[in-house]
Homo-oligomer: A and B are copies of this chain.
Amino acid sequence: MAEEAAVRAQADTVRRLKQDKADPDEIAKEVAKLLEMKAQLGEDEGKHKFVLKTPKGTRDYGPKQMAIRERAFNAIISCFKRHGAEVIDTPVFELKETLTGKYGEDSKLIYDLKDQGGELLSLRYDLTVPFARYLAMNKITNIKRYHIAKVYRRDNPAMTRGRYREFYQCDFDIAGQFDPMIPDAECLKIVHEILSDLQLGDFVIKVNDRRILDGMFAVCGVPDSKFRTICSSVDKLDKVPWEEVRSEMVGEKGLSPEAADRIGEYVQLHGGLDLIERLLQDPKLSQNKLAKEGLGDMKLLFEYLTLFGITGKISFDLSLARGLDYYTGVIFEAVLLHQENEHVEEPVSVGSVAGGGRYDGLVGMFDPKGRKVPCVGVSIGIERIFSILEQKLEASEEKIRTTETQVLVASAQKKLLEERLKLISELWDAGIKAEMLYKKNPKLLNQLQYCEDTGIPLVAIVGEQELKDGVVKLRIVATREEVNVRRESLVEEIRIRTSQC
């Protein structure tokens, strides 16, 4: 059969790529193709087998992963709240037309729902467009909010590197008409606080401005109509070398080689206030209105960042472009510089972990009268951060608890199920986190072993003698110490010993 031969050929391709230690993304792509071909073949043969898996590009979070995820979320939410943000939530799907025309070339990655009658729907692609829709719909002109939720992209997943089709975004945005660069500076401060707090290693936050890019394109001789597409090419510079980007500009996009070379000189530049000053004196750029505006604001931004004491991690980088269409001013992206990992020789490249910028026109696209609400915001790419935290935790062999149980209610003899049920009910009603084994007559050893396995620090043991004496034997798992505690003092004793006050 031709299909089977094709599958075998594809399997050979995968094998060869693995032998050649090819780019992991490349391998992942070919493996995915192989799996789909196999699945297709299975279906065609009519002997369809049920596959026990999650959809491509998605994953379950088990209790351990959830514990890590909660740590990261807590750090991020604390920061957002520290900056006075409110929180909102929006539906996981939007009317299809709400998303139309907002994402440029990336629109092909949007998940659509099947037309089952009624409205045409799509899964949200990010949290920014739903936020703008929310503002326009409720005529809100002034808000500082965060939103943590899953978004969906039919991208080629590279899950070992934290790239999924379903992933969380943690967004913080400031909407409203304010004095220049004050909210923008706060967004960068937030990224700095979160990345420092999470201790992911050294990082740099690249900053640029769409107006500087557009001004630069103009003075380099790029025709207006090609601004966005040339901008997309520049956006690839963090992944591919300049020579390739240049040949895309000249070959595919029809830019003159001279214009491309002029761009090439600019996009190599990165620095701080000194570079901004230099470009403000640049004979060509300083003549361009947009570039001048952008550079003036960039200078102001750096002044504020100096007051925040964070310029050490900020790099004004002319090669930063950002893919999305809707940005209109400052743009930024945080990247981890290198990731230490004892188990692998090569540093794991995790790419960008946060990004954002100013989008002053997006809300106006939803308003029937086109009224604009200026916005600036940041999105934390939490999945990549999870990947790193997970690897770190595995390397450290730290034992992570997945429950908060304070005490196990146990019995030393048989026929004490009723007494255990009575005691655990008292503890629950007093707000103590308590568990018991769901056995009528569990062995004491098994009950103690359960505490060892799950990290429960205390055992409250009921026995015939204790019941007579009106006490409970409290065992401290770590030290194996045992004390008799009067029943009426038990709750207090557990609280003190687990220092929950």
Q: Judge whether B121 and A90 touch: CB under 8 Å.
A: no
Q: Judge whether A54 and B425 touch: CB under 8 Å.
A: no
Q: Judge whether B307 and A422 touch: CB under 8 Å.
A: yes
Q: Judge whether B179 and A52 touch: CB under 8 Å.
A: no
Q: Judge whether B63 and A88 touch: CB under 8 Å.
A: yes
**Does A444 have its Cβ within 8 Å of any Cβ on chain B?**
no
Stretch from A129-137, A202-210, A321-329 contacting the other chain:
A129-137
**Does A490 have its Cβ within 8 Å of any Cβ on chain B?**
no
Q: Judge whether A60 and B189 touch: CB under 8 Å.
A: no
A166-B92, A425-B309 known; A86+B63 contact, CB < 8 A: yes
Q: Bits for A29-55, please: 1 = Cβ < 8 Å to B, else 0.
A: 000000010010000000000111111
Would you give the shortest CB distance from A125 to chain B, in whole angstroms?
A: 14
A435-B84, A439-B178 known; A52+B137 contact, CB < 8 A: yes
A90-B60, A193-B428, A421-B304 known; A116+B121 contact, CB < 8 A: no
Q: Judge whether B421 and A308 touch: CB under 8 Å.
A: yes
Task: Report the nearest B residue to A90, measured CB to CB.
Answer: B60
Q: Bits for A410-443, please: 1 = Cβ < 8 Å to B, else 0.
A: 0000000110011001001101111100111000
A114-B113, A176-B438, A440-B179 known; A136+B93 contact, CB < 8 A: no
Tell me the bound Cα distance from A51 to B98 in angstroms: 9
Q: Judge whether A63 and B114 touch: CB under 8 Å.
A: no
Q: Bits for A67-97, please: 1 = Cβ < 8 Å to B, else 0.
A: 0011000000000011111111111111101
Tell me the bound Cα distance from A402 to B53 in angstroms: 40
Beta-carbon contacts under 8 Å, A133-191 to B:
133-134, 136-138, 145, 150, 152, 154, 166, 174, 176, 178-179, 182-183, 185, 189
Tell me the bound Cα distance from A60 to B124 in angstroms: 13
**Does A118 have its Cβ within 8 Å of any Cβ on chain B?**
yes
Tell me the bound Cα distance from A116 to B82 in angstroms: 42
**Does A111 have its Cβ within 8 Å of any Cβ on chain B?**
yes
Q: Which of B61, B133, B439 contacts A52 (CB 8 A)?
A: B133
Task: Report the nearest B residue to A168, measured CB to CB.
Answer: B89
Would you give the shortest CB distance from A52 to chain B, in whole angstroms?
A: 5
Q: Judge whether B86 and A402 touch: CB under 8 Å.
A: yes
Q: Judge whether A58 and B93 touch: CB under 8 Å.
A: yes
**Does A66 have its Cβ within 8 Å of any Cβ on chain B?**
yes
**Does A241 have its Cβ within 8 Å of any Cβ on chain B?**
no
Residues of B within 8 A of A435 (CB): 83-84
Beta-carbon contacts under 8 Å, A263-313 to B:
304, 307-309
A403-B81, A439-B178 known; A88+B62 contact, CB < 8 A: yes
Would you give the shortest CB distance from A200 to chain B, in whole angstroms?
A: 18
Q: Judge whether B116 and A113 touch: CB under 8 Å.
A: no
Residues of B within 8 A of A145 (CB): 63
A86-B402, A435-B84 known; A91+B307 contact, CB < 8 A: no
Would you give the shortest CB distance from A28 to chain B, in whole angstroms?
A: 14
Q: Which of B50, B82, B418 contacts A434 (CB 8 A)?
A: B82
| Chain copies in complex | 2
Q: Which of B59, B121, B422, B428 contacts A189 (CB 8 A)?
A: B428
Task: Report the nearest B residue to A112, measured CB to CB.
Answer: B114
Residues of B within 8 A of A429 (CB): 193
**Does A366 have its Cβ within 8 Å of any Cβ on chain B?**
yes
**Does A244 have its Cβ within 8 Å of any Cβ on chain B?**
no
Residues of B within 8 A of A81 (CB): 403-404, 433
Tell me the bound Cα distance from A300 to B431 in angstroms: 26
**Does A119 have its Cβ within 8 Å of any Cβ on chain B?**
yes
Residues of B within 8 A of A243 (CB): none
Which of A69, A93, A138, A417 has the most chain B CB atoms inside 10 A of its CB? A93
A85-B403, A431-B82 known; A439+B179 contact, CB < 8 A: yes
Would you give the shortest CB distance from A15 to chain B, in whole angstroms?
A: 23
Task: Report the nearest B residue to A430, measured CB to CB.
Answer: B82
Tell me the bound Cα distance from A115 to B52 in angstroms: 20
Q: Judge whether A87 and B60 touch: CB under 8 Å.
A: no
Tell me the bound Cα distance from A83 to B406 in angstroms: 10
Task: Report the nearest B residue to A62, measured CB to CB.
Answer: B88
Q: List 22 A-B contacts (CB under 8 A).
A: A39-B119, A52-B133, A54-B91, A58-B91, A59-B91, A60-B137, A60-B138, A62-B88, A66-B86, A66-B87, A69-B89, A81-B403, A84-B405, A84-B433, A86-B402, A92-B166, A116-B154, A176-B438, A179-B438, A185-B421, A304-B421, A307-B421
